[in-house]
Amino acid sequence: MDVIKILDKTFERYLSAVEIEAAVTRMAMEMNRRLAGKPPLFMCILNGAFMFAADLFRRITVEGAQISFIRLASYRGQTSTGAVQELIGLSEDIAGHTVVILEDIIDTGVTISYLMKQFQALNVAEVQTAALLFKPGALKCNVVPDYVGLEIPNDFIIGYGLDYDGFARNLPEIYRIKNTEPMLNIVLFGPPGAGKGTQAEFLIREFGLTHLSTGDLLRSEIAADTPLGRQAQTFMDKGELVPDAVVIGMIKHRIESHRDAHGFIFDGFPRTVKQAEELDRMLEELGIPVSGMLSLEVEKEELVSRLLNRGQTSGRSDDRDAAVIENRIQVYHEKTAPLKQYYANQGKHFHIDGMGAIEEIGQRLKAAIETGLKKLHRQ
Ligand code: IMP
Ligand code: MG
C-alpha cells in the first residue's frame, strides 16, 4: 500500500524496508570500522529509535559493545523559559566509555545537542552521534552527526519506530506526509510605497509561505556558483538583463527544493505578460498553478506622501523628489496594467484596497486569500 491514513493525515510511502535495511547496514559497517578498539556504549533514545537501534545493534561486531536505553521527558518547569528536558533511565557508570547516541531522526537538532552536552558532562571518553535520518533543512543548531543513514527533505515522516501521536511505529517502511491542501501561490503586486514588503512578510508568517524574490534568487545562485548562477553572471557582466528562461529556471530550482512548502509568494516577478505566460507554463508542469494575483491599490497622493516620508529617513535618493516619485508610479501603472488584465482573464486578479493602517490592509489581504483564492482552488 503506497498511501495510508493515520488519524487526520495522509502519508505516502517514502522508503522501503530494503532501503532502510541498506542504510542501517552501511552505518553498522562504518561503526565497526571506526569504533574498533574502543568498546562503544550505544545509547538508544526512546521511543522513536528502538527499531533502528535493534536492527543496527545486531550488526555491530565490535568487541565489548553494549547498549542502553534512555528517554527524554519534557515537563513544564517553574522558569519562564517553558519546557525543560530531563534525561531518565541512565543507571550505569558511563565514565571513560565511548558513547554513541542513537537517534531515529535529527530534525531541529535541539534534542541531540542537549544530549551531547549532558553526556560530555559525565566524563566520558568521547561522545558520537548517529541518526538514521537527518533533515538538514530543518536544522536550527550547529550539529554534524558522526553517522547518518539518509538525508531527507524537511517533511514529517512516520514508520519504523517514528510516530504520529503514538501511532505508526510498527510500520516496516517509512512514510512521508502528503500535503493534501493545494499550494497557495501568490503573485503580489503594488506600486512603490504600497507597503508590499511589509505585507509580504505578514502573509509569509500567516500562511507559512516561502518567499520567492528574483533578486534574492539571483544573488544566492551566483554566490553558490551553480550552473544557473554562472549563466546569469555572464549576462550581468555584459550589462545585459538576465533572460526570462534563466530566471524561470532559478524559480523552478527553488520550488523543487521546497516541495514541502505550503506555497510561494512571488515578489518582483512576473513583470511582463510574456514572463507571466512562461511562469504559468512552468508551474503547470509542476502541477502547482498560480492561485491568484493580489494587487494593492493606493491613491497616488497617498503614495507620494508615504514615499516622501520614507525619503526623509531612508536616504534613498529616488524617494526624495516628488516628480521622480510620480514618474515611478506612472511607469508602474503602465507596466502592470496588462498583467492585471492577464490574471483577470483567468479570473485570478484580486484588487485590494491598500489605503489605511498596515494591520487593516493585512487583514484585507488575508480575507481575500481565505475567501477568494482558496475558493478558486477548490473549483
Ligand atoms: P529535534 O530535537 O528537532 O532534532 O527532534 C528530534 C525528535 O523529534 C526525534 O527524536 C523525533 O522523536 C521527533 N521528530 C522529529 N521529526 C520527526 C518526524 O518527521 N516524524 C516523527 N518524529 C519526528
Ligand atoms: Mg526520538
Ligand minimally distant from the alpha carbon of residue 168: 1
Catalytic pick among 38, 316, 335, 375: 316
Q: Which of 112, 129, 162 to mutate to test the pocket of ligand 1 (most atoms within 8 A of CB)?
A: 162
* Closest atom, ligand 1, to C-alpha of 114: 2
CA-nearest residue, atom 15 of ligand 1: 107
pTM above 0.75, yes or no: no
* The architecture CATH gives domain 3-177: 3-Layer(aba) Sandwich (3.40)
pLDDT, position 282: 92
Catalytic pick among 328, 340, 366, 374: 328
pLDDT, position 379: 58
* Closest atom, ligand 1, to C-alpha of 113: 2
Ligand 1 proximal residues by C-beta, below 6 Å: 48, 103-112, 156-158, 162
* Closest atom, ligand 1, to C-alpha of 155: 19
Q: Which of 105, 117, 175, 178 to mutate to test the pocket of ligand 1 (most atoms within 8 A of CB)?
A: 105
Known catalytic residue at 271: yes
Known catalytic residue at 328: yes
Residues of the chain with CATH 3.40.50.2020: 3-177
* Closest atom, ligand 1, to C-alpha of 47: 12
Q: Tell me the mean pLDDT per 10 residues along the chain, length 379.
A: 88 96 98 96 97 98 96 61 72 90 95 93 95 91 95 92 96 90 88 90 91 87 88 87 88 82 89 92 89 93 89 73 86 88 95 94 94 71
**C-alpha of residue 161 to centroid of ligand 2, in Å:** 9
**C-alpha of residue 174 to centroid of ligand 1, in Å:** 14
The grid coordinates listed for 29 are 559497517
* Amino acid at position 171, single letter: L
CA-nearest residue, atom 11 of ligand 1: 105
Ligand minimally distant from the alpha carbon of residue 152: 1
Catalytic pick among 13, 59, 252, 271: 271
Choosing among 3.40.30.10, 3.10.20.90, 3.90.1010.10, 3.40.50.300, the CATH entry for 184-209+261-378 is 3.40.50.300
**C-alpha of residue 47 to centroid of ligand 2, in Å:** 6
Known catalytic residue at 364: no
Catalytic pick among 310, 320, 366, 374: 310
* Closest atom, ligand 1, to C-alpha of 111: 2
Known catalytic residue at 196: yes
Residues of the chain with CATH 3.40.50.300: 184-209+261-378
